Amino acid sequence: MECLLEVKTADEAQPKIARFVPHRTQSWGVLFWQIVRFGIVGILNTTIDVLTLNILLWHFPTHNANLLLLYNSIAYTLGALNSFSLNKYWTFQHRQTISGWELVRFAIVNVAGILCNDSIIWIVARTLFPLFASGLLWANASKLVAVSGTMMLSYLGMRLWVFASKPQGRRLSR
């Protein structure tokens, strides 16, 4: 039987729980940069979303709120597809392989995002309809309000459910 002598440093001699509680400045700093990265990814996703919406509006002009919802759903989906990899690997820095359950959670959050985004667009588009003669301005004003209203839902869904950090198991020393 082998016996190992374990020498503990002053830091290791402290109660175990103290080492696992992050320092306040560290956790706020990590959270701050995570939100900054999420914002950068969001800007890119929104650019894809808005460009797709405008391409659809340019090729198939409309002043119909229901058709605008279809265009918006297509555009939002393309932005969301870009979102998965960038948020998984860069924003939330998850290195694990993609799991089926992770994809399902991502899809659920994005379907909720599309429904939220479409609902806001429908309400705003119907409200703004008499104010804008240009269908393009009308659609983009509606989209801007919808994007603003959907940001927090998306961030919280991604951070707290889709890419939530799992507690790391600890090995106990003997």
> How many Cβ atoms are within 10 Å of 81's Cβ, its own excluded?
13
Q: Which residues are CB-contacts of 71 (< 8 A; sequence separation ≥ 6)?
A: 53, 56, 57, 60, 62, 139
User: Measured between alpha carbons, how far is 73 from 49 in angstroms, rounded to an integer?
Assistant: 9
Chain centroid to Cα 146, Å, comes to 15
> What mean pLDDT value characterizes the chain?
81
Angle subtended at Cα 67 by Cα 82 and Cα 39, rounded to the nearest 5 degrees: 30
Least confident window among 32-46, 78-92, 118-132:
118-132
Query: What does pTM read for this prediction?
Result: 0.70
